C-alpha cells in the first residue's frame, strides 16, 4: 500500500589488504544482489566513480571512466608522478569521499544498494602507516566524521604468503613490504574496535570467499531496519 515504508538501499563497504580480492569480490557480490532483485551500484575509492559522479559532473555514460579533479591528483600521487605532503594527500583522499557523500545518501534513501571498494578505513590506515609523528590514527579519522556510515564492512584478510601468490608488488607508492606490514597491523587495530564488521578469510578460493561474503551480507540485510535512515561515521 502507499503507506508501507519504502525499502532503503544497503551501504556495503569492502575493505582489506592489497590483493585480497576486493574488486573481484565486489563484482561477484554485485551480480548476486542484482539477481536477488536489488538495484545495485558499485563505487570505488580512490578514483573512478561510476554513474553517481558522472551525473554530478554531467558526464554522459560514454565518459564514466573519467576521474574527478581530486581523483586525478590522487592518481598522480599514487603513481609517483607528483609529490604531496602526507597530511595534504590524506585530506584529498577524504575529500574524494566527501564529493560523493551526498549522492550516496540520496541513492540509499531511494532504494539503491551501494557496494564500495575501499573507504575511510583504508583512508586512515594507509596514512597512519607512514609513521609521520603528526599523523596519528586519531588525527586521520577526523575528516571522516559525518560521512555515510556503512551498514556492514567486510574486511578481507590475507596472509603475506597468499597475497604474494597473486603477483608481486606493483609500482605504486604504497606497494612495498614495510608499508604493507604496518597497514596489516593498523587494520587489525581499527577492526578490533569497530562494529558491523565481518572478517572474511580471503586466502581461500574465489568461490569460498564469495560464499562467506554472501552469508554476511544476507545476514546484515535481514537484520536491517528498512525504515531507518543511513547513519553517519562518528
Contact residues for ligand Z5A (CB under 6 A)? Answer: 16, 18-24, 45-46, 78, 93, 118, 122-123, 126, 166, 172, 174-175, 205-206, 209
Which window, 16-24, 85-93, 145-153, 216-224, contacts Mg ion (CB under 5 A)? 16-24
Q: Under 8 Å CB-to-CB from 229, ≥6 apart: which residues?
A: 8, 109
Distance from C-alpha of 233 to C-alpha of 224, rounded to nearest angstrom:
17
User: To the nearest whole angstrom, how small is the minimum distance from the Cβ of residue 192 to Mg ion?
Assistant: 24
What backbone torsions phi and psi does residue 68 show, to the nearest 5 degrees?
A: -75, 165
71, interface contact from ligand Z5A, Mg ion, none, CB < 5-8 Å by kind = none
User: To the nearest whole angstrom, how small is the minimum distance from the Cβ of residue 24 to Mg ion?
Assistant: 8
Distance from C-alpha of 224 to C-alpha of 113, rounded to nearest angstrom:
13
Residues 19-58 that bind Mg ion (CB under 5 A): 22-23
Distance from C-alpha of 190 to C-alpha of 132, rounded to nearest angstrom:
18
18, interface contact from ligand Z5A, Mg ion, none, CB < 5-8 Å by kind = ligand Z5A
Residues 52-111 that bind Mg ion (CB under 5 A): none
How much is the CA Rg of the chain, to the nearest whole Å? Answer: 18
Cβ-contact 79, 47 below 8 angstroms: no
150, interface contact from Mg ion, ligand Z5A, none, CB < 5-8 Å by kind = none
Q: By CB neighbour count within 10 A (0-12 exposed, 13-18 middle, 19+ buried), where does 32 fall? A: middle
Position 166 contacts Mg ion (CB under 5 A): no
User: To the nearest whole angstrom, how small is the minimum distance from the Cβ of residue 31 to ligand Z5A?
Assistant: 14
User: To the nearest whole angstrom, how small is the minimum distance from the Cβ of residue 90 to ligand Z5A?
Assistant: 7
* Spatial CA neighbour of 191 closest among 124, 110, 102: 124
User: To the nearest whole angstrom, how small is the minimum distance from the Cβ of residue 179 to ligand Z5A?
Assistant: 7
Q: Cell for 166?
A: 597473486
User: Which residues of the chain form contacts with Mg ion (CB under 5 A)?
Assistant: 22-23
Amino acid at each position: 500500500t502507499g503507506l508501507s515504508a519504502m525499502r532503503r538501499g544497503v551501504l556495503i563497504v569492502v575493505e582489506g589488504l592489497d590483493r585480497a580480492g576486493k574488486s573481484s569480490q565486489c563484482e561477484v557480490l554485485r551480480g548476486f544482489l542484482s539477481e536477488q532483485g536489488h538495484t545495485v551500484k558499485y563505487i570505488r575509492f580512490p578514483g573512478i566513480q561510476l554513474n553517481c559522479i558522472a551525473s554530478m559532473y554531467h558526464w554522459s555514460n560514454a565518459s564514466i571512466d573519467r576521474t574527478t579533479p581530486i581523483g586525478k591528483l590522487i592518481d598522480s600521487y599514487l603513481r609517483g608522478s607528483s609529490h604531496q605532503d602526507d597530511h595534504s594527500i590524506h585530506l584529498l583522499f577524504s575529500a574524494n569521499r566527501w564529493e560523493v557523500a551526498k549522492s550516496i545518501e540520496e541513492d540509499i534513501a531511494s532504494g539503491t544498494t551501494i557496494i564500495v571498494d575501499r573507504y575511510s578505513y583504508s583512508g586512515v590506515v594507509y596514512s597512519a602507516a607512514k609513521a609521520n609523528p603528526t599523523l596519528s590514527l586519531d588525527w586521520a579519522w577526523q575528516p571522516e566524521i559525518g560521512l555515510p556510515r556503512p551498514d556492514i564492512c567486510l574486511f578481507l584478510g590475507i596472509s603475506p604468503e597468499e597475497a604474494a601468490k597473486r603477483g608481486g608488488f606493483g609500482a605504486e607508492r604504497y606497494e612495498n613490504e614495510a608499508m604493507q606490514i604496518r597497514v596489516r597491523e593498523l587494520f587489525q587495530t581499527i577492526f578490533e574496535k569497530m562494529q558491523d564488521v565481518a572478517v572474511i578469510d580471503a586466502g581461500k578460493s574465489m568461490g569460498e570467499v564469495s560464499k562467506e561474503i554472501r552469508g554476511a551480507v544476507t545476514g546484515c540485510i535481514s537484520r536491517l531496519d528498512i525504515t531507518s535512515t543511513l547513519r553517519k561515521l562518528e
